[in-house]
Structure 1
Amino acid sequence: MSLLSLTGVTAHYGASQALFGVDLTVAEGEVVALMGRNGMGKSTTVKTICRMMPARGGLTFDGHDLSRLPSHRVARLGIGLVPEGRRCFADLTVTENLLAAARPGTWTLPGIAALFPRLGERHGQRAASLSGGEQQMLAIGRALMTNPRLLILDEATEGLAPIIRQEIWDALQRLRADGGLSILVIDKSLKELRRFADRVVILERGRAVWSGATDALTDAVSERFIGV
């Protein structure tokens, strides 16, 4: 049984339809990459899962119907979101940002500091004073502090310096190696996703046009649906 399941999901921005019957599943402990060119519906799909916008169709998490739940109740079911653009609480310190989202479980302040040592070194600094890469680490740490069963990463390495991107990918690989956490990741780094994800779903114009194991993602498929 899938932990997360979307069946025939549609969504609109006003009169403009953005999703056209999207099907998507994430199993317990599975890492799924959601890919596609810009504007194809990836972030919209995330918004429907997290109930940040209305949608129609089947939308379940661990057997719970998400379609009628507000976003805060969806989060409490065990979905942790690392949103596009980081969105840290600028006036709060690193520690305060992490504690603001904390729920009981395996992930604690020492665990986040072990995963991202930079955050441990800057625990008393305001989020606004951090670099962009450090803010991204903080956004990931904040999501983990909710002790989710499903972690959603929306462009978590976008616009970062190569050395910082590698630090984040290394941390994500450690999360994967620990097992147990399901992950839905949106990213443009095909090289990293080939090593990280079990399965890929590609969206084009609000529709899922390809789905399969990561090692089945050929150069021809990539060029057709992902390449510029």
Structure 2
Amino acid sequence: MSFLSLTGITAAYGPSQALFGVDLALEAGEVLALMGRNGMGKSSTIKVICRLLKHSGGTVQFDGRDIGNLPPHKAAQAGLGLVPEGRRCFGPLTVHENLHAAARPGAWDYAAVCDLFPRLGERRDQVAASLSGGEQQMLAIGRALMTNPTLLMLDEATEGLAPVVRQEIWAAVATLKRDTGLALLVVDKSLAELRRVADKAVILERGRTVWSGGIDALDRVVADQFLGV
């Protein structure tokens, strides 16, 4: 059984169907790239995993158990960590307060996060709303790590950031892969960067899994068909 497994997932927002059959599998310690054009169901899939969106069909299994009926806070306690699209830091709180807001005991503490992102340590007492976009993204990643998850999901973590900041984020992802036992699920548009860190990829098209396999097997023909503009 895979560490994370989605089988035949369907889901909707009210009368609007979003997912029509999503399948994916991720092993412990692996990095999975979840890919597809805009609006194809990537964020909805992550919401189903985190229990922020109820699925109407299929199964969601994580770490040996069916989590399909768990409320979101129980899913987080089970080891799911999310860096949401749009960062969603607590603007009025300081960096230190943001990091401790959802902290749970484990290897990832304030010092470890500041080792990964030294700028957060430098801005310890600065409110999140005054940080740059890149610093807020680092804070969002650090906050998720402070929950000490076993699976970390990053939804468009480099979206809208300056190139130099994007490289810092990718370097952090590479460090997490190399130095920790975390499983990672990464949504991003940069195939070149994903190839450097991911073990496998799943491509969604109109709410369905249309391709899955090792990232090295993702050739130009497939990429152009399902990822090209």
The verdict on a shared fold, with TM-score over 0.5 as the criterion, is: yes
What residue number does 2:45 align with?
A: 45
Q: 1:61, 1:159 → 2: CA distance? A: 31
Residue 54 of structure 1: how far off its partner (Å): 1.0
Residue 14 of structure 1: how far off its partner (Å): 1.3
Secondary structure of 1:221 counterpart: helix
Deviations 1:127-173 (A, max 9, x none): 00100000000000000000000000000000000000001111111
What residue number does 2:5 align with?
A: 5
Question: What letter matches 1:125 in structure 2?
Answer: Q
Residue 17 of structure 1: how far off its partner (Å): 1.1
Where does the alignment leave 5 or more consecutive residues of structure 1 unmatched?
none
Q: 2:52, 2:136 → 1: CA distance? A: 22
What residue number does 2:204 align with?
A: 203
What residue number does 1:26 align with?
A: 26
Q: 2:68, 2:159 → 1: CA distance? A: 30
Q: 1:154, 1:202 → 2: CA distance? A: 14
User: In the alignment, does 2:177 pair up with 1:176?
Assistant: yes
What residue number does 1:138 align with?
A: 139
Matched ranges for 1:83-162 at <5 A: 83-162=84-163
Secondary structure of 1:86 counterpart: coil
Q: 2:194, 2:186 → 1: CA distance? A: 9
Residue 93 of structure 1: how far off its partner (Å): 0.4
Deviations 1:192-216 (A, max 9, x none): 0000100000000000000010111
Question: What letter matches 2:33 in structure 1?
Answer: A
Secondary structure of 1:46 counterpart: helix
Question: What letter matches 1:126 in structure 2?
Answer: V
Residue 2 of structure 1: how far off its partner (Å): 1.0
What residue number does 2:62 align with?
A: 61
Residue 19 of structure 1: how far off its partner (Å): 0.6
TM-score calculated relative to the size of structure 2: 0.98
Where does the alignment leave 5 or more consecutive residues of structure 2 unmatched?
none
* Residue range with higher mean Cα deviation, 131-140 or 57-66: 57-66
Root-mean-square deviation (CA), in Å? 0.7
Q: 1:162, 1:108 → 2: CA distance? A: 28
- Percent of pairs with identical residues: 68
What residue number does 2:15 align with?
A: 15
Residue 179 of structure 1: how far off its partner (Å): 3.6
Question: What letter matches 2:20 in structure 1?
Answer: F
Q: 1:175, 1:165 → 2: CA distance? A: 15
TM-score calculated relative to the size of structure 1: 0.99
Structure 1 residue runs of 4 or more that deviate by more than 6 Å after TM superposition: none
